Chain A
Amino acid sequence: LAKTTQPISMDSYEGQEVNITCSHNNIATNDYITWYQQFPSQGPRFIIQGYKTKVTNEVASLFIPADRKSSTLSLPRVSLSDTAVYYCLVGGGNNDMRFGAGTRLTV
């Protein structure tokens, strides 16, 4: 079971780029890295997923180094509406992914 470690909280200002790093030292070969966003009183929402190198979509970018032992979620030009909890998950099967406490981002 791949354990993940993220900062508990981060603060930023509107218009800045925010980078949240997740450590997952024992990631398995067939594991993917997935990030979710959760607003208060709502269910988590998928942001981005990747396996290696860089993935970009309309919301964020995900950077994964060659050893895959960490990953960085990058949110460009954050706004107040990006204030949320961000979860990093690592896994590839039904019962081998766990949500940690996440990173509470305050903009």
Chain B
Amino acid sequence: NAGVTQTPKFRILKIGQSMTLQCTQDMNHNYMYWYRQDPGMGLKLIYYSVGAGITDKGEVPNGYNVSRSTTEDFPLRLELAAPSQTSVYFCASSPTLRGRDTQYFGPGTRLTVL
């Protein structure tokens, strides 16, 4: 099993550009999450999904969109990139509720918006 994979590893965007961060898991987990981590800080939940077709906002959803058409994939979309979105983005998955079960994290995508 590859676990949780994320692409790309690094990306530089100009203000106003758009991009999609890809996340795929091969563990057949129902629950998937997107977090962002600013330097020296903990992770903040952006969006999560409890299954294909079902998504909901987390703590910091503004400026982002998600979709979940399959169990395996959970892409994160940035429509109009802003410098405040410079961060490291982590995708995670868990078999059941994240409070009751292990979350498995991907390696992260380091995004810089200039």
Contact = CB atoms under 8 A, between A and B. Distances in A.
A98 B33 CA distance: 13
A64 to B, nearest CB: 15
A82 interface: no
A27 B55 CA distance: 26
Given A41-B108, A43-B106, A98 B42 contact: yes
Contacts of B97: 92-94
Interface of A is mostly: loop
Contacts, number: 65
Interface of A: 31-32, 34, 36, 41-46, 49, 87, 89-102
14 contacts: A42-B107, A43-B90, A46-B104, A91-B99, A92-B97, A92-B100, A93-B97, A94-B31, A94-B98, A97-B45, A99-B35, A99-B42, A101-B42, A102-B42
B53 interface: no
Given A91-B98, A94-B48, 9 more contacts: A36-B103, A43-B92, A43-B105, A44-B90, A45-B105, A89-B99, A90-B99, A94-B98, A96-B99
